[in-house]
């Protein structure tokens, strides 16, 4: 399946986001990443939308996309959205998006020294192109093999569900859920084996 502008969200473990972590902690961390060129892309600016209820939270804008501590649906998590992108195979786009999401989440866990921990048993994936990926059964069918392959790489040998969020008014979205809860570093290693 062809896709572009894919996003992925990795959720914070319940009870681990209240350990004194405030939006200013994310702002400071993202500004530090800009100063030190912590990620392998051009980092531009930080924007604070934490005042918006269940909104985009704190964003780190880059030349190609954006990272953010997203608060949508009342669930805090690291979200990466690639905005400058040409259409290509969904599996390739998803792997690159997940690599960037996991890398940023791992850096944030390190920077905040255990005050925030991301859970590895649930991922939200969206395709932000309604033209290439309308939110319907046909898109789900076309994407199934690629989504299953990525889920198998991340959660090899563990029961995993790929749940399609059916709502034609929303972007095409799936949740990958596993009975295993690996650490972010483990997911990153499974995604990009040596």
Task: Show me where the domains of the chain are located.
Answer: 2-191
Rounded CA-CA distance 14/51 in Å is 21
Say how many C-beta atoms besides its own lie within 10 A of residue 146's C-beta.
Answer: 18
Burial group, residue 37, by CB count within 10 angstroms (0-12, 13-18, 19+): exposed
Provide the 3-class DSSP secondary structure of residue 98. helix
Q: What is the mean pLDDT of residues 8-20?
A: 76
Flag the least confident range among 30-34, 71-75, 128-132, 134-138: 128-132
Task: Answer whether 162's CB lies under 8 Å from 144's CB.
Answer: yes
pLDDT at 19: 59
Q: What is the mean pLDDT of residues 79-104?
A: 91
- Whether the per-residue pLDDT at 50 is higher than 80: the answer is yes
Q: What is the mean pLDDT of residues 27-42?
A: 97
Say how many C-beta atoms besides its own lie within 10 A of residue 102's C-beta.
Answer: 28
Confidence of residue 35 (pLDDT cuts 50, 70, 90): very high
Q: What is the CA radius of gyration of the chain?
A: 16
Task: Let me know how long the chain is.
Answer: 194
For 33, residues 6+ apart whose C-beta sits below 8 A from its C-beta are 39, 43, 60, 107
Of 113, 123, 186, residue with least CA distance to 151: 123
Q: What is the mean pLDDT of residues 129-138?
A: 88
Average pLDDT value for the chain: 91
The dihedrals phi and psi of 61, each to the nearest 5 degrees, come to -90, 135
């Amino acid at each position: 399946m062809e896709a572009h502008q894919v996003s992925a969200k990795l959720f914070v473990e319940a009870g681990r986001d209240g350990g004194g972590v405030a939006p200013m902690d994310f702002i400071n961390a993202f500004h530090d990443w800009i100063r030190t060129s912590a990620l392998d892309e051009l980092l531009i600016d930080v924007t604070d939308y934490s005042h918006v209820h269940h909104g985009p939270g704190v964003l780190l804008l880059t030349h190609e996309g954006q990272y953010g501590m997203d608060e949508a649906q009342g669930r805090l998590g690291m979200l990466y959205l690639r905005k400058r992108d040409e259409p290509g195979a969904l599996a390739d786009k998803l792997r690159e998006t997940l690599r960037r999401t996991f890398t940023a989440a791992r850096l944030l866990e390190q920077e905040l020294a255990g005050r925030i921990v991301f859970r590895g048993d649930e991922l939200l994936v969206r395709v932000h192109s309604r033209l290439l990926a309308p939110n319907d059964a046909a898109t789900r069918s076309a994407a199934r093999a690629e989504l299953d392959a990525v889920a198998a790489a991340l959660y090899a040998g563990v029961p995993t569900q790929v749940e399609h969020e059916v709502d034609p008014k929303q972007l095409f979205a799936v949740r990958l859920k596993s009975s295993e809860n690996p650490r972010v570093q483990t997911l990153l290693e499974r995604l990009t084996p040596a």
